[in-house]
Amino acid sequence: MDLKQAVVVAKKHISDLFAGEDIDNIGLEEILPDPNYEEGDPDRVWHITIGFSRKWDAQGALGIAAGLPRSRTYKIVDISDRDGKVLSVRNREMANH
């Protein structure tokens, strides 16, 4: 599986998984191949971070009217390089600044 295919799988999986939550602004945030495996190793796992917004993440009516950005949710989608199967979806913890 190449990088572009892995990203397509991750975005589609997030879109399907959270379809009932009216998410939008789905986008690629980060890609990390599993450091424990060499390129071409069929057991390699892609760790793809996908970000998205939920309608309830808006900053209230005034924030929406003012065009303030909504907060984003970040999920790491782990995908098998061998068969493109999604192995897990987990929260990506953001560093506090």
Residue 22 lies in a domain: yes
Number of domains in the chain: 1
**Averaged pLDDT for residues 76-87:** 94
How many Cα neighbours within 13 Å face the side chain of 36? 5
pLDDT value, residue 97:
47
Residue 61 banded pLDDT, cuts 50, 70, 90: low
Residue 96 banded pLDDT, cuts 50, 70, 90: low
Residue 84 lies in a domain: yes
Contact (CB, 8 A) for 53 and 60 = no
**Averaged pLDDT for residues 13-30:** 94
Residue 48 lies in a domain: yes
Residue 96 lies in a domain: no
pLDDT value, residue 66:
67
How would you class 60 by CB atoms within 10 Å of its CB: exposed for 0-12, middle for 13-18, buried for 19 or more? exposed
pTM of the entire structure?
A: 0.80
The residue range of the domain holding 65 is 3-91
Residue 97 lies in a domain: no
How would you class 62 by CB atoms within 10 Å of its CB: exposed for 0-12, middle for 13-18, buried for 19 or more? exposed
Helix residue ranges per DSSP H, the chain: 3-17, 60-66
**Element of type H or E holding 28:** strand 23-33
pLDDT mean across residues, the chain = 85
